[in-house]
Amino acid sequence: MEAKGLMPVRLEEAKALSDELRLIILEIIEKEPMSVIEIVDELKRSGIIKTPNAIRYHLAVLKDAGLIELVRVGKTYKYAAKGKFYAYTGSSDVDDLIEKLALEVKGDVEAIARSLLEEHWDELVEAAKKLKPCEFCVTKHFIERVEFYFMEFLD
């Protein structure tokens, strides 16, 4: 197996990495390529019980984000991490500057967002009604939550 390089996490990968189970799956397949069933079994040994379909869903999210790939192992294909992933932070000076700038524009950004929400409220509600939560979402009342978020923001 060839060596894989370290790569910082980019913004487009953040959603895929925001789920703890996906991080665990990445850690597992960083060591060696595995099939869905092998991942299920490895998780089970760690006390995490998930169905193969749940694992397939999380693998699809990771694959769509470009974090994993299918590799040929003998006559079958298995999932493998494309690299090692690590979190990184900037210097405290940069963090302080970003925080200062964010505070300076916060009022303007809130005013723009409020104006857009008020102007396009009906369109946003209709769009929210068309959204459907996936079967793995914790929140069962997704549309109501989106509407509540907009209402909360306007108050």
What percent of the chain lies above the pLDDT cut of 70? 72
Show the tokens assigned to 101. Answer: 């700038």
Mean pLDDT score of the chain, rounded to an integer?
A: 80
Q: What is the pLDDT of residue 83?
A: 77
**pLDDT > 80? residue 4:** no
Q: Which residues contact 98 (CB under 8 A, 6 or more apart)?
A: none
Q: How far is CA 151 from CA 106, 118, 127, 135, 148, in A?
A: 19, 10, 15, 26, 5
Separation between Cα atoms, residue 145 and residue 122, nearest integer Å = 16
H or E stretch at 10: none
- CA dist 28 and 65 (Å) reads 17
All domains in the chain, ordered by first residue: 6-86 (1.10.10.10), 92-154 (no CATH)
Residue 3 has pLDDT above 50, yes or no: no
pLDDT digits (tens, 9 = 90+) for 74-131: 888 999 998 776 555 567 787 788 889 888 998 898 889 888 888 988 887 787 777 6
**What pLDDT is attached to residue 123?**
86
30: left (phi over 0), alpha (psi -120 to 50) or beta: alpha
pLDDT (0 to 100) of residue 105: 92
pLDDT in tens, 70-79: 999 988 899 9
Tell me, yes or no, if the pTM score tops 0.75: no
Question: What are phi and psi for residue 116, nearest 5 degrees?
Answer: -65, -40
Residue 125 carries which side chain, given as an amino acid letter? V
- 3-state SS class at 76: strand
